[in-house]
């Protein structure tokens, strides 16, 4: 069958992992863009980002937003992987239907 790359179990695993990735990265993106203080250790801060700046919180907020947008981009990539896995699942169902 054309376009069939992976089997039904791998496609199901891809769907489950994609759903988890979208949920997790979507929540992280929301928390980073709302500048959650708990995630400060995950923001790539350097000393030169804080001290020479006259308004250090603004630079930190920009870094938070950058990391948040990266999380949203990664969640979108997981959506694409989930869509691919759904297509593979559908192709596997068609193959199973045609064989029987």
pLDDT for the residue 53 = 64
Left if phi > 0, otherwise alpha if psi is -120 to 50, otherwise beta: which for 3?
A: left
Q: Which residue segment(s) compose the domain that 51 sits in?
A: 8-99
Question: Is there a domain that residue 40 lies in?
Answer: yes
Question: Is there a domain that residue 94 lies in?
Answer: yes
pLDDT for the residue 99 = 67
Question: Is there a domain that residue 16 lies in?
Answer: yes
Question: Is there a domain that residue 25 lies in?
Answer: yes
**What does the alpha-carbon distance between residue 90 and residue 16 come to, in Å, rounded to a whole number?**
15
Question: Is there a domain that residue 3 lies in?
Answer: no
Question: Is there a domain that residue 1 lies in?
Answer: no
pLDDT for the residue 3 = 78
For the chain, the first-to-last Cα distance in angstroms comes to: 14
**What does the alpha-carbon distance between residue 31 and residue 37 come to, in Å, rounded to a whole number?**
9
**What does the alpha-carbon distance between residue 32 and residue 50 come to, in Å, rounded to a whole number?**
18
pLDDT for the residue 23 = 98
- What is the count of structural domains for the chain? 1
Question: Is there a domain that residue 32 lies in?
Answer: yes
Q: Report mean pLDDT in 10-residue bins for the chain, 100 residues.
A: 85 96 97 93 78 75 94 98 95 78
């Amino acid at each position: 069958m054309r376009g069939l790359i992976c089997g039904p179990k791998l496609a199901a695993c891809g769907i489950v992992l994609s759903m988890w990735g979208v949920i997790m990265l979507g929540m992280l993106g929301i928390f980073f863009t709302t500048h959650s203080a708990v995630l400060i250790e995950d923001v790539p801060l350097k000393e030169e980002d804080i001290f020479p700046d006259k308004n250090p919180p603004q630079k930190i907020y920009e870094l938070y937003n950058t990391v948040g947008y990266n999380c949203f981009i990664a969640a979108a990539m997981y959506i694409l992987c989930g869509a691919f896995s759904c297509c593979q699942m559908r192709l596997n169902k068609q193959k199973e239907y045609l064989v029987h």
